Chains A and B, each alone.
Chain A
């Protein structure tokens, strides 16, 4: 029995070896090296420099704040549609699901472009509003913080809805039926059965949307003017000023904060 267990484990380890090698070579080692470089030198080296300087700190804080806000809002907005898609049957449901999940394939750059299409200087919305009211409202809105936020939402919502929907779908249907037989209306069922059971899924959705926002680069490239986010700073340091040290430190802090929040949110889940 022990022998077959060992053989079985050995086979398993062998099959998983390429994955392990890849993760070490392409992810763990580069990141560790990044950390090493950034933390070396007197008093935590470049990291200190980064934390001290206004611009970089601002960028990091902006990233954290915007990502957190976008994550919360998207999860909040996603709960209703996710529940409906998961539990109710109605004509056109599959079409709606497909429509909502379409933007999942869009990278940030594309989303940025779409926002410009909608709300840039000559965006669709200002044009239409201009025709209707004679005033140019929301002109250039895409390039403000609000515009960036909406772009994040556009990016996150499909993700949030689909993740929550698959979690809701896994609910044993009978629990919902049982709640109904006990007199609970739809709102009560959502609040007392659906959401508590969904709490782990909600947490992991928050983690996913937060991580995706923190990594947001394409969107920021296109839309951010006066408002800077961390990935952008890494890029400019790296390519513009060739300031590898600072770029490295920034990248490290960015990666670290994202992973930390992600781990925190995932704790308590199986």
Chain B
């Protein structure tokens, strides 16, 4: 199902929570929304599933306006952060719940009568098998571990095969190690099901791993949207740059030319060397990711501040001559000693430039 959100806003009383958000969820793809706490991500999710109604704007499922449709009649499945499993029902009954409500899809194109008992049992079994829950079907949620509960929550949401799956930070209640395993399984499952998915998280790694389409939200507005790698390599604001990973933003001065109508990039001098930069009136930053830096005999001189081996790479803090601090990732066990001087360079010839916003 394609989902189109058109200029949607929501506020609690006077406080705007979501302002003028528009987005397209590609059919069958995973759209991830990432942002700091309070950025409105969960609210956006609640607007999509109908628990909240936007004050302004429209939401379209496959070109049909569902803005006023109550949750019960939308063809969505939701995985809550707290799982919200029914404590008085077994795993089997939890999973079957959405199949027994006889909900009619909002879209009149495909009417669905209440499925037969056998059909329900089959579907429950199939879904449980997808998530390796067969052994747990007769247990109650209180008897399950966190990871198992999370799988049940997923199974329950997915059993009716909804056209849109909404996931609200589903992994945040798990510990780090479990999160990594479950994350990969979740990604595989979502792709296998091919359901359009909308995934909310604040974890950048999760976002990069899962997203077919990524949106960065801040204070209720979409700051940037697109392909995840694209956002990583070419962020449009310092906020996006630092949110999606470690970023060195090196201040670069404006270099206006006499005839300012020209937009030809110009080779300019920066604290990290000479690069080809677009001309702007306002100046901006050079984005240099820690993994882009390397020892370079022809590079700029820098003093090593702190060096620490983290295992997969060494984390080195360098001080440039003009006092700027730079974070670099060196291959494991190659970090120079603190206090020593090294020459560093940037791997690419055209590092990304982030302009000051107008």
A–B touching in complex (CB under 8 Å)? yes
Chain A positions within 8 Å of B, measured between CB atoms, are 172, 174-175, 177-185, 188, 192-193, 196-197
A177-B42 Cα distance, complex, nearest whole Å: 14
Q: Is B102 an interface residue, CB under 8 A from the partner? A: yes
Q: Is B215 an interface residue, CB under 8 A from the partner? A: no
Show 21 A/B contacts (Cβ-Cβ < 8 Å), sorted by A. Answer: A172-B82, A174-B80, A174-B82, A174-B84, A175-B84, A177-B51, A177-B80, A178-B78, A178-B85, A179-B86, A179-B97, A180-B51, A180-B71, A182-B77, A182-B98, A182-B103, A182-B156, A182-B160, A183-B160, A193-B86, A197-B88
Mask, B75-111, CB within 8 Å of A = 1, is 0111010101111100000000110011100000000
Contact B101 A172 (CB under 8 A): no
A174-B71 Cα distance, complex, nearest whole Å: 13
Contact A181 B101 (CB under 8 A): no
Taking CB atoms, residues of chain B closer than 8 Å to A179 are: 86, 97
Contact A183 B82 (CB under 8 A): no
Taking CB atoms, residues of chain A closer than 8 Å to B120 are: none
The secondary structure that dominates the B interface is loop
A185-B102 Cα distance, complex, nearest whole Å: 10
Looking across the interface, which residue of chain A has its beta carbon closest to that of B75? Answer: A183
B184 CB to nearest chain A CB (Å): 26
- Known contacts A188-B101, A197-B87; decide if A181 and B71 are in contact (CB<8 Å): yes
A181's partner among B82, B86, B157 (CB-CB below 8 A) is: B157
Looking across the interface, which residue of chain B has its beta carbon closest to that of A177? Answer: B51
Looking across the interface, which residue of chain B has its beta carbon closest to that of A197? Answer: B88
A179-B97 Cα distance, complex, nearest whole Å: 8
A89 CB to nearest chain B CB (Å): 13
Contact A182 B49 (CB under 8 A): no
- Known contacts A183-B98, A183-B103; decide if A178 and B160 are in contact (CB<8 Å): no
A177-B98 Cα distance, complex, nearest whole Å: 13
Contact A182 B101 (CB under 8 A): yes
Q: Is B72 an interface residue, CB under 8 A from the partner? A: yes
A99-B157 Cα distance, complex, nearest whole Å: 41
- Known contacts A178-B78, A179-B97; decide if A184 and B72 are in contact (CB<8 Å): yes
Looking across the interface, which residue of chain A has its beta carbon closest to that of B73? Answer: A183
Mask, B155-193, CB within 8 Å of A = 1, is 011001000000000000000000000000000000000
Interface residues of B in 85-144 (CB under 8 A from A): 85-88, 97-98, 101-103
Contact A181 B78 (CB under 8 A): yes
A184-B77 Cα distance, complex, nearest whole Å: 12
Contact B97 A182 (CB under 8 A): yes
Contact B88 A178 (CB under 8 A): no
A172's partner among B49, B84, B160 (CB-CB below 8 A) is: B84
Contact B84 A184 (CB under 8 A): no
A178-B78 Cα distance, complex, nearest whole Å: 7
Taking CB atoms, residues of chain B closer than 8 Å to A197 are: 87-88
A117-B142 Cα distance, complex, nearest whole Å: 53
A182-B70 Cα distance, complex, nearest whole Å: 12
